[in-house]
Structure 1
Amino acid sequence: MKRIVVLGAGESGAGAAVLAQKEGFDVFVSDMATINAKYKKLLDDHGIEWEEGQHTEEKILNADEVIKSPGIPKEAPMVRKIAEKGIHIISEIEFAGRYTNSKMICITGSNGKTTTTSLIYHIFKEAGYDAGLAGNIGRSLALQVAEDPHEYYIIELSSFQLDNMYDFHANIAILLNITPDHLDRYDYCMQNYVDSKMRIIQNQTEKDSFIFWNDDPIIKKELEKYDIKSVICPFSELKEKGSIGYIEEGKYTIEKPMPFNMEEEELSLSGKHNIYNSLAAGIATDIAGIRKEVIRKSLSDFPGVEHRLEKVTKVAGVEYINDSKATNVDACWYALESMKTPTILIIGGKDKGNDYDAIKPLVKQKCAGLVYLGADNSKLHDNFDGLGIPVRDTHSMKECVEACYEMAKPGDTVLLSPCCASFDLFKNMEDRGEQFKTLVKNL
């Protein structure tokens, strides 16, 4: 019996373990952290051996294959030892793909992944398609393949998940954009990160489709290096040569496979970045054969995504917006670009090698104040204090919200769009967003 070891027992790892057991493998799960009670119960219910708070080498290094959770870096000591032994390391998505013939709609990019994935899933469900939501959001793909299979899977893929995918095949691949992100995981080398994102098109055939943003300079340059076999489906804000999705004279337009258009103002999502997300989603669902009436209705009634430009409430004439999901500079740029009133920007967290120069012009133009929120705000002081905008230094969400309340005037907007990861002060970006919303609602 072949042995599968799963490193990391979160949503991804626990699901992979259940599928591995179902497929007849000898399975062992190991996590250096404490395993969530929900996943312990799942593993126990299936009689799968697990450990937490340690990695026992003799139980791991005898594996035929290792499924690594995406959050574990390749530099982790145990991962290094596994690689040195020549044991193949794969992702949960790669493993799950071996045991299903379902259609895979896969979305990646530095920004917009969650919104686009959620929007596509919304359209599929409205159309009555049998679809599962997986990857970075939703339930584990492996667990769904094992216990709740679907005809289609809509999968948000991070660069970390793509890194350990080899034979997996996307029927529809979507690449939204490529801007610097997670460079701390890629030896601070942009090309390493770019190469990871481009893996979205690996193994595609002439029967598949590749949707991408035609205006992205990095994507354009990278495409010259690849022999792309799939049908290319570029989109852009304006009608450009080759783009099959665009905005023209205020109309959202898709040329093929089934032409349709609608008024741009009817789209439920606002802001330039969301035009791109809506174009990618419209093209993908059009390719999947969903009727244009359903696509049109779904694009106009999609409720949006939690922690992504989420309107929280108005207090004393000030609008509070939770964009905690903005964990890189580009995401913050898009959020600021969509602001229509003077903005108090909350920025900070665990820096991932950020270059803040890209947002400085928008900060000058849009911001009435800056509130730094992090364990160490020195890099923020170095980058923004010289802009002549009032700043406040805070080290907890309570301090931060109090500072915003003091700084903001009626008619202003307080925007939490941090540019950074959350792990210095919070469990994750959801925790950061939830704390923000709770404190704002208690003002």
Structure 2
Amino acid sequence: MKRLVILGGGESGVGTALLGKEKGFDVFVSDKGKIKEKYKNVLIHHDIAWEELQHTEAKILNADVVMKSPGIPDKVPLVKQLVENDIPVISEIEFAVQFTTATIVGITGSNGKTTTASLAFHILKEELDVGLAGNIGDSFAKQVLEDDFKNYVLEISSFQLDGVVDFKPHIAVITNITPDHLDRYNYDFDAYIASKFRIAMNQTKDDYLIYDADDPVLVDWLEKHPVQSQLLPFSLVKTIENGACLEKENIKITIDNNQILMSARDLALEGKHNVKNAMAASTVAHLLKIRKQTIRESLENFQGVEHRLEHVLKINKVQYINDSKATNVNATYYALESMSAPTVWIVGGEDKGNSYEELYSFVNTKVKAVICLGVNNEKLLQNFSNMVDVIVETQSMNEAVKIAYKIAEAGDNVLLSPACASFDLFENYEDRGRQFKDAVRNL
């Protein structure tokens, strides 16, 4: 009996444990932190061995294969030890994919992957048997075990891609690549790019890679590191023969001379970046033979993703917008770009080595006040103090929202778009977004 050790007892860890047990592995789950009650109960119910608050090396180094949670860096001593002992350390995606014959759509990128994956799923579910997993929703492994869908849309982070060996999606999407998580890649941008492109490394000429042809990082990398798959670029400015582009306010998608035209005006989501997300998702749908009418209707009625430019409430003619999912500068760039009214901007958190220069033009033209919400706001103050009349520091969401309420006037926006990780003051970006929404509702 092969021994499967799982590091991390969260959604992906417990899903993998269930699938591993079903497939005849001797399973052991080890978490250095506390395992949530709901996950503990599942492990106990299925008679799966586990430990928390420690990693017992004797019970881990005897593994045949190790699945590690994407949150655990490769440079942790235990992980290094496993690698030195030639024990394969893989991600949930790599483990689960060997037990399904489904058609896989894999979506990665620095920004837009959640929206693109949710949107692709929203279209496909109208006509196909499909699951949504990866970095989003229920664990992929658990869905392979319980639902066995014929198709999956997987949102995949670079950390998950670092742990793949044979994973080969039939359709891969890379939305864009901007410097993010560089702390996990020794501040080497090329290493981060290479990590994202692992999504296409096993693809053949029968597979597809959909990517943003307006992103110089992607275009440059593909020129130097060609892939086997068929390329389907999308662009807002170029004319694309095979792929997606804009033609007079219309999104035009062409695959092997088969064309769809859709009005970009009718999209439920606002902003240029969402036109791109719609292009990517519709190209996926077109490849999987979804009817044009279904694609059009789905794009018009899609509600969007929580914590991503989410309109919370209008109070005294001021619109409050939750973009807590903007954990890097590029995501905040899109948010500020889409603001069409004077904006009170709540920003800050755990800085991942950010450079704020690309935001300067928007801050100068659109932002009337900056509210810094972080343990250390030094860098924000240095960058933006001389651009706006009002810049305030705060350490609590309630206070930030109250200050915004005082500053904002009828017709303004109050935008939470932090450009930083949330771990200095919040559990995660969801917690930060929910606290923002609660504070707004309590005004």
Query: Which position in structure 2 is the counterpart of 1:205?
Result: 204
**Separation in structure 2 between the aligned mates of residue 293 and residue 404 of structure 1, nearest angstrom:** 43
**Separation in structure 1 between the aligned mates of residue 53 and residue 413 of structure 2, nearest angstrom:** 43
How far apart are 1:83 and its partner, in Å?
Answer: 2.3
8 Å contact kept, 2:374–2:394: yes
CA deviation digits over 1:324-343, x for unaligned, max 9? 00000000000000000000
Query: Which position in structure 1 is the counterpart of 2:296?
Result: 296
Letter in structure 2 aligned against 1:427: E
**Separation in structure 2 between the aligned mates of residue 218 and residue 283 of structure 1, nearest angstrom:** 21
Query: Which position in structure 2 is the counterpart of 1:251?
Result: 250
Query: Which position in structure 2 is the counterpart of 1:37?
Result: 37
CA deviation digits over 1:169-204, x for unaligned, max 9? 110000110101001111111111111111111111
8 Å contact kept, 1:234–1:242: no
TM normalised by structure 1 equals 0.98
Query: Which position in structure 2 is the counterpart of 1:158?
Result: 157
How far apart are 1:117 and its partner, in Å?
Answer: 0.3
Query: Which position in structure 1 is the counterpart of 2:366?
Result: 366
CA deviation digits over 1:265-290, x for unaligned, max 9? 11111100000000000101000111
Runs of 4 or more, structure 1, over 6 Å off, are none
**Separation in structure 2 between the aligned mates of residue 122 and residue 268 of structure 1, nearest angstrom:** 13
TM normalised by structure 2 equals 0.98
How far apart are 1:242 and its partner, in Å?
Answer: 4.0
**Separation in structure 1 between the aligned mates of residue 429 and residue 410 of structure 2, nearest angstrom:** 28
How far apart are 1:241 and its partner, in Å?
Answer: 4.5
- Secondary structure, counterpart of 1:387 in structure 2: coil
Range with bigger deviation, 323-332 or 205-214:
205-214
**Separation in structure 1 between the aligned mates of residue 422 and residue 242 of structure 2, nearest angstrom:** 37
- Secondary structure, counterpart of 2:427 in structure 1: coil
**Separation in structure 1 between the aligned mates of residue 376 and residue 399 of structure 2, nearest angstrom:** 14
1:54-203 pair list within 5 angstroms: 54-127=54-127, 129-203=128-202
**Separation in structure 1 between the aligned mates of residue 70 and residue 344 of structure 2, nearest angstrom:** 34
Query: Which position in structure 2 is the counterpart of 1:273?
Result: 273
**Separation in structure 2 between the aligned mates of residue 276 and residue 264 of structure 1, nearest angstrom:** 10
8 Å contact kept, 2:233–2:240: no
Range with bigger deviation, 227-236 or 54-63:
227-236
Letter in structure 2 aligned against 1:47: D
Letter in structure 2 aligned against 1:317: K
Letter in structure 2 aligned against 1:264: A
Letter in structure 2 aligned against 1:400: A
Letter in structure 1 aligned against 2:333: W
| Runs of 5+ unmatched residues, structure 2 | none
Query: Which position in structure 2 is the counterpart of 1:439?
Result: 439
- Secondary structure, counterpart of 1:126 in structure 2: coil
Range with bigger deviation, 380-389 or 47-56:
380-389
Query: Which position in structure 2 is the counterpart of 1:19?
Result: 19
Letter in structure 2 aligned against 1:193: Y
Letter in structure 1 aligned against 2:414: V
How far apart are 1:126 and its partner, in Å?
Answer: 1.8
Query: Which position in structure 2 is the counterpart of 1:284?
Result: 284
How far apart are 1:305 and its partner, in Å?
Answer: 0.8
**Aligned residue-pair number:** 442
Query: Which position in structure 2 is the counterpart of 1:28?
Result: 28
Range with bigger deviation, 116-125 or 373-382:
373-382
How far apart are 1:78 and its partner, in Å?
Answer: 2.0
Range with bigger deviation, 230-239 or 178-187:
230-239
| Runs of 5+ unmatched residues, structure 1 | none
1:320 counterpart = 2:320: yes
How far apart are 1:76 and its partner, in Å?
Answer: 2.0
8 Å contact kept, 1:214–1:243: no
Letter in structure 2 aligned against 1:335: A
Letter in structure 2 aligned against 1:160: F
Query: Which position in structure 1 is the counterpart of 2:392?
Result: 392
CA deviation digits over 1:401-437, x for unaligned, max 9? 1111111111110000000111111111000000000
Query: Which position in structure 1 is the counterpart of 2:419?
Result: 419
**Separation in structure 2 between the aligned mates of residue 384 and residue 188 of structure 1, nearest angstrom:** 25
- Secondary structure, counterpart of 2:173 in structure 1: strand
Letter in structure 2 aligned against 1:272: K
8 Å contact kept, 1:19–1:146: yes
**Separation in structure 2 between the aligned mates of residue 218 and residue 205 of structure 1, nearest angstrom:** 22
**Separation in structure 1 between the aligned mates of residue 165 and residue 224 of structure 2, nearest angstrom:** 19
Letter in structure 1 aligned against 2:369: G
8 Å contact kept, 1:2–1:26: yes
8 Å contact kept, 1:239–1:248: no
Query: Which position in structure 2 is the counterpart of 1:401?
Result: 401
Letter in structure 1 aligned against 2:277: N
Give the aligned CA root-mean-square deviation in angstroms: 1.1
Sequence identity percentage: 52
**Separation in structure 2 between the aligned mates of residue 346 and residue 338 of structure 1, nearest angstrom:** 16
How far apart are 1:238 and its partner, in Å?
Answer: 2.7
Letter in structure 2 aligned against 1:130: D
CA deviation digits over 1:6-60, x for unaligned, max 9? 0001111111111111111111000011111111111112110001111111111
8 Å contact kept, 1:236–1:243: no
Range with bigger deviation, 216-225 or 335-344:
216-225
8 Å contact kept, 2:32–2:54: yes
**Separation in structure 2 between the aligned mates of residue 243 and residue 99 of structure 1, nearest angstrom:** 33
Letter in structure 1 aligned against 2:140: L
**Separation in structure 1 between the aligned mates of residue 388 and residue 405 of structure 2, nearest angstrom:** 20
Query: Which position in structure 2 is the counterpart of 1:310?
Result: 310
**Separation in structure 2 between the aligned mates of residue 165 and residue 386 of structure 1, nearest angstrom:** 46
- Secondary structure, counterpart of 1:14 in structure 2: helix
